Amino acid sequence: MLEILAHSGPARLGVWHLEDKKIPTPNFLLNITSSTSRLKHEVYITPYWMRTSKAPVVVHYGTLGVGAKIRRFGILPSAGFGLDIHRELAELGVEKTLALAEQFPEHGAIIEGGKYPELRERAARKLASRRLLCIANGAKLCQRPRLLVEVVTRVREAVSPNTVLYLPGAPLALFPVLAYMGVDLLDASYAISSALRGFYLTPYESYPLDRMKELPCTCEVCIANDKERLQNSLPLLVKHNIAMLRGVMADIRESMRTGKFIKLVEMSANASTQAKAALRILYREKYEFLEKYTPMAP
């Protein structure tokens, strides 16, 4: 469960208790791949078929059909049919996902429902007491700010305050505004896929490495290597990109502690069209959601 230490609007500074570890949140799950297997982090995520000695780890069980393999704590399989699907298919996906979740009440689950916020909310209410919930189609939702805001705020309101909310696939530039909406966990999939495409991340922008003249970062990777070496080493580029995620997350948590988080959110939103649009929609259309978590002056 999540222990909430402080609020900054709907954002939650907390500690997630998992496998006898105390994980500060907001945070990101480090996806275990061949390029990240040697990197140290506070919490990992891995597909059910991959063996690892990393801990603590969240197992992602994928799609329906692996029920017999569900043992370790993780995110249960779901009947995911995509985002832009007919309502009947979205409803079927929700029903099948919830039916399996009933068999494993101690595990995390996925909130399905396609592009229909009311279906997402219905699923969230059925799963409201889970320790961990994952919002399906995270990467695609991030490309559609209005739908992203509607889904995340409805889900956050529907579930327990102590439920950890995870949205996979988000770009780094959206981390602050997603944390502002109450998302507790993101992941490293965007940083890894960016490296695979040859993109070098900075806190709020990504650049094609082959067109860069110099490295603007002072992380241990960039201090010890030049641009050419990063171009020829996927593990080094991945390590740098992951370092950017760590820095942004640490900045998010520290700004919450010091009362400067909203300033960080607004500044970072200027670097991303999607983040700027999501924040504008939040301010204009989700006033009651924001007001609920904002102390009123006497």
Residue 290 CA: distances (Å) to CA of 130, 153, 177, 184, 227: 24, 10, 12, 16, 43
Say how far apart CA 120 and CA 134 lie, in whole Å: 11
Domain residue limits, the chain: 2-289
b (16+ CB within 10 A) / e for 7-46: bbbbbbbbebebeeeebebbbbbbbbbebbeebebbbbbb
Does 277 score more than 70 pLDDT?
yes
Asked whether the predicted pLDDT for residue 204 surpasses 90, the reply is no
**Dihedral through CA 152, CA 156, CA 157, CA 162, nearest 10?**
180
Helical packing angle, 273-285 and 261-269, nearest 10°: 130
Q: Could you read off the pLDDT of 36-93 as tens digits, one per residue?
A: 999 999 999 999 989 899 999 999 998 876 555 888 999 999 998 999 999 999 999 9
pLDDT band of 292, cuts 50, 70, 90: confident
Spatial CB neighbours of 128, under 8 Å, sequence gap ≥ 6: 158, 159, 160, 163
Q: Taking residues 203-217, what's their average pLDDT?
A: 94
pTM for the complete prediction?
A: 0.96
- Residues 240 and 222: their CA atoms lie apart, in Å, by 7
| Best CA proximity match to 136, nearest among 156, 106, 109, 98 | 109
Give the span between the Cα atoms of 98 and 65, in whole angstroms: 14
What is residue 125's predicted lDDT score, i.e. its pLDDT?
Answer: 98
- Residue 177: phi and psi, rounded to 5, are -70, -30
Amino acid type, 285:
E
> 2-289 has which fold?
TIM Barrel (3.20.20)
Query: Interhelix angle for 87-103 vs 117-126, to 10°?
Result: 10
